[in-house]
């Protein structure tokens, strides 16, 4: 047997497992990059919708939606966003705007609560794309308003909020299997973690506040 044939036979088993493994890695990488792109596209869509509502004064959110200015500009970088002049990114003007934004000041007064809500969401993020972090900040800021969460975020319906939460925080969203009002549900989670925000009874079924926590959010 010549040396070349011998070498081929020796290394054939390696190629037999290496090629399928490389193909599998390639397929996984493609699937992961497509999940990332899809998540970013969906989140930019929701971000623009929330932003549009905020500019029409239809949310409880501050000017930068509960994001740092750099996060805000990163999320706002979608091409269809050019309707708004914030892309000019005037740092000084932005600092002044934040300082005079009453809703931003209210958020800062409740920063601990906002952080707890944000951490709850981030602890359950889908991990497809970094835009989930920005969405967690915006949703946590929306929780500080006085209305239903979908309205305080300026979304078109509760169903749209369900979709946003399921896409970004799937395990947490699935845990709300009794269709609890979303804000109450999040605060209940914090309660169970020892935060003590909502619950006045050991179980929902025995609680006098049941109708505040369950029922339609219209
Ligand atoms: S119904 Fe009562 S126990 Fe259940 S989440 Fe609401 S406040 Fe808490």
The predicted structure's pLDDT at residue 97: 77
Task: Please check whether residue 105 lies inside any domain of the structure.
Answer: yes
Number of structural domains in the chain: 1
**131-142 and 3-55 are packed helices; what angle lies between their axes, rounded to 10 degrees?**
30
The predicted structure's pLDDT at residue 181: 95
Q: Tell me the CA distances in angstroms from 66 to 10, 27, 34, 194, one per residue in order.
A: 61, 37, 28, 25
Q: Looking at ligand 1, which residue's alpha carbon is closest to its atom 4?
A: 204
The predicted structure's pLDDT at residue 26: 74
Q: Return the ligand 1 atom nearest residue 202 CA.
A: 3
188 lines ligand 1 (CB under 6 A): yes
Residue 141 lies in domain: 39-175
201 lines ligand 1 (CB under 6 A): yes
Q: Looking at ligand 1, which residue's alpha carbon is closest to its atom 7?
A: 199
Q: Which residues of the chain have pLDDT under 50?
A: 79-83
Task: Give the model confidence (pLDDT) of 8-65 as tens digits.
Answer: 666 666 667 677 777 777 767 766 778 999 999 999 999 999 999 999 999 999 999 9
The predicted structure's pLDDT at residue 192: 86
Q: How far apart are CA 169 and CA 146, in angstroms?
A: 23
Task: Please check whether residue 134 lies inside any domain of the structure.
Answer: yes
Q: Return the ligand 1 atom nearest residue 212 CA.
A: 6
Task: Please check whether residue 108 lies inside any domain of the structure.
Answer: yes
Q: Is 201 exposed, middle or buried (0-12, 13-18, 19+ CB in 10 A)?
A: exposed
The predicted structure's pLDDT at residue 81: 47
The 3-class SS string of 7-75 reads HHHHHHHHHHHHHHHHHHHHHHHHHHHHHHHHHHHHHHHHHHHHHHHHHCCCCCCCCCCCCCHHHHHHH
Give the global pTM.
0.81
Task: Please check whether residue 195 lies inside any domain of the structure.
Answer: no
């Amino acid at each position: 047997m010549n040396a070349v044939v011998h070498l081929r036979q020796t290394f054939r088993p390696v190629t037999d497992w290496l090629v399928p493994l490389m193909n599998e890695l390639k397929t996984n990488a493609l699937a992961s990059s497509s999940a990332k792109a899809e998540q970013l596209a969906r989140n930019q869509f929701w971000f623009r919708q929330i932003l549009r509502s905020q500019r029409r004064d239809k949310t409880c959110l501050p000017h930068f939606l509960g994001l740092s200015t750099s996060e805000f500009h990163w999320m706002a970088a979608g091409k269809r966003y050019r309707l708004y002049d914030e892309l000019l990114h005037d740092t000084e003007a932005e600092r002044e705007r934040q300082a005079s934004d009453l809703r931003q000041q209210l958020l800062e007064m409740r920063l601990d609560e906002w952080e707890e809500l944000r951490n709850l969401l981030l602890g359950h993020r889908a991990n497809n794309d970094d835009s989930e972090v920005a969405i967690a900040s915006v949703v946590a800021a929306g929780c500080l308003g006085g209305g239903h969460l979908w309205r305080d975020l300026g979304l078109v319906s509760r169903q749209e909020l369900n979709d946003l939460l399921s896409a970004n925080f799937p395990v947490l969203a699935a845990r709300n299997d009794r269709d609890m009002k979303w804000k109450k549900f999040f605060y209940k989670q914090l309660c169970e973690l020892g935060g003590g925000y909502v619950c006045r009874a050991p179980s929902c079924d025995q609680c006098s506040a049941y109708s505040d926590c369950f029922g339609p959010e219209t």
